[in-house]
Amino acid sequence: MLDTLKTWLNDKLTGTSERHDLAHLPAPRALGDQRLENLRLIVLDLETTGLNPAKDKVIAIGAVAIDRLAIPLADQFDLILRRPELDIRETVLIHGIGPEALTRGHETRDALLHLLEWMNGNPILAFHSDFDRRFLEKALRQQLGYTQPHTWLDVAELMPAFFPDARERCKRLDNWAEHFHLDIAARHHAAADALATAELSLIALREAQRQGVVTLDDLNQKLRYYQRLKTLHRM
């Protein structure tokens, strides 16, 4: 199934970006009373040349959809970008993406256009979402002149908000995956990390429903409440 999807994406991305109209891309969806059980959410993970969005670049995009509180394995996005000019010597041992892969990757502009189309304006989840948000927004702005703000939710805060008893010992994605006995196929691979984050998100969303959090706005309010509590504990 995944091989078929990658083949389809490869065929799609061999076209030129002229087929796309930036003005008619799906508009980002705002927070509202959409019920969690009816939502399609995007779980995103990026591989980059470093940790500084001011100077480092996105080199791979992995994303998984959560659709109606399920993870359809055919609804994924997994691409390495064509960026042969980048120096990845300091990070290649972390993400395993070498110069040859960056030479054979997909054109960055086309990949980002297809990502926006595939996301369809749906809210985005990521583990430590501020990192991915800043990198993606920079790439979209530089490559496409695209500046529309999407709704982002941080899974690193979503998990302790609904499972506070595990908060102290679960700081990283690996910790939460181990806590819930999830098997992560490969770390620092965008698609694998996105899938692991999606599985954790689904656990949190089902717990949210059990606690009476049933809409996207309810979920956002829960996260804001958790953030306030976290700030108070630091004082």
pLDDT of 24 reads 83
Give the distance from CA 179 to its chain's centroid.
21
Query: Residue 51 has what DSSP assignment?
Result: S
Q: In angstroms, rounded to a whole number, what is the distance separating the alpha carbons of residues 231 and 227?
A: 6
What residues contact 178, with CB distance under 8 A and at least 6 apart?
none
Q: Tell me which residue range forms the domain holding 7.
A: 2-234
CA atoms of 21 and 24, how far apart (whole Å): 6
Q: Locate 114 and state its tokens.
A: 């297809």
Q: How many helices (H) and strands (E) does the chain have?
A: 9, 5
**Contact 46/78 with Cβ under 8 angstroms?**
no
- Long-range CB pairs of 14-18 (<8 Å, 24+ gap) are 15/110, 16/110, 17/107, 17/109, 17/110, 17/113
8 Å CB contact between 64 and 43: yes
- pLDDT score of 213: 97
CB–CB of 176/157 below 8 Å? no
CB 126 within 8 A of CB 152: yes
Cα 229 to Cα 69, 162, 168, 200, 221: the distances in Å are: 27, 13, 14, 22, 12
- The answer to whether the CB of 49 falls within 8 A of the CB of 87 is yes
**Distance separating the N- and C-terminal Cα atoms of the chain:** 50
**What tens-digit pLDDT sequence spans the chain (235 residues)?**
445 444 444 544 434 444 556 778 999 999 999 999 999 999 999 999 888 999 999 999 999 999 999 999 899 999 999 988 877 766 654 666 767 778 888 999 999 999 999 999 999 999 999 999 999 999 999 999 999 999 999 999 999 999 999 999 999 999 999 999 998 766 667 889 999 999 999 999 999 999 999 999 999 999 999 999 888 777 5
Query: pTM for the complete prediction?
Result: 0.86
Taking only the tens place, the pLDDT of each residue in 147-189 is 999 999 999 999 999 999 999 999 999 999 999 999 876 666 7
Domain CATH number, residue 137 = 3.30.420.10
Number of compact structural domains in the chain: 1
